Amino acid sequence: MKAYDAIVIGSSAGGMYALKNLIQGLKPGFRIPLIIVQHLSPHSDNYLAHFLDQLGILRVKEADERESIKPGHAYIAPPNFHLLIENDHTFSLTVEEKVNYARPSIDVLFETAAGVFRDRLIGIILTGANHDGANGIKSIRSFGGFTIAQNPATAESDIMPKAAIATGKIDKIWDINEISGFLNSLSNT
């Protein structure tokens, strides 16, 4: 089975519960880092990271500038910042223009992660009400990464997974529990 260095996840409308269900489905001790962009209000506090951290599966926190990506952790993009991956496997935060009306933007995370992790990256698009992430999925596939979209029939908002699927660059379309099961099969715990 191929080894992966990171998993990037994009979600928007309905994402809090999709992320909760995905993380709850992971085995304790899951090691591959998750890096998440959830569209949030610019004035949001760190409730999402706290909420997901309480599940006890992974250490979940907001990403900090220049922080190193560690196994067994999940990182959430802070509200009103784009989250980028640097070549040394650290994070950068920027307040550049919104992309697809969003900051943080899924595309920005996915495109920078694709250039760093190349064919050792998994990109996952979950529920959401816009097209953010579709270009990022294309980038991940162009570098040989593996791409997954939530089954639109099970998404609270099906626009984002449908936009990702429409790129023709999605490897698998799965329900949340199938995504978690696949990720568990990769984790060497």
Residues acting as catalytic residues: 12, 39, 132
Neighbour-count burial for 36-52, b at 16+ CB within 10 Å, e otherwise: bbbbbeeeeeeebbeeb
Q: Considering only CA atoms, which of 97, 139, 92 is closest in space to residue 118?
A: 139
Distance (Å, rounded) from C-alpha 55 to C-alpha 148? 23
| SS3 assignment, position 70 | coil
